[in-house]
Amino acid sequence: MGILFGIVFVKAEVISWFRIQEMFRLQSFHMYGIIGSAIITGMLSVFLIKKYNIKTINKEPITIAPKKFNKGQVYGGLIFGSGWAITGACPGPLFAQIGIGATVVVISLLSAIAGTWVYGWLRDRLPR
């Protein structure tokens, strides 16, 4: 499934640095269309899971925990989006970008790992 997912990312140009830059410069609808279709698919899936009480393959109920809003989500989103805009890479496509030979993206991957580690280290000290 991971290989198939990577192929879809490459063919849809989701991993294209150029397409990502177009999105952040508001020059193209391409990435907004892809992200929007993913949001609609997710919303439809959650609606159907709740409406028909769909269960997992193991017949276990699927529970979707309520989410509380936290202002840190806004700050985190701004930091995440800034990094995405600067590097032209999001965590999902990083591996596909490396897979097509864009080895410079390894720096973004290592930075993402370092950022995750720093967050884990600071998490208990951050305001809630």
Task: Write out the DSSP string of 20-68.
Answer: HHHHHTT--SHHHHHHHHHHHHHHHHHHHHHHHT-B-TTSPBP------
Domain segments of the chain: what residues? 2-125
**Average pLDDT of the residues in 41-51:** 96
Q: How is residue 5 written in tokens?
A: 């997912």
pLDDT at site 46: 95
Distance CA 95, CA 92 (A): 7
pTM (whole model) above 0.75: no
Residue 19: pLDDT band with limits 50, 70, 90? very high
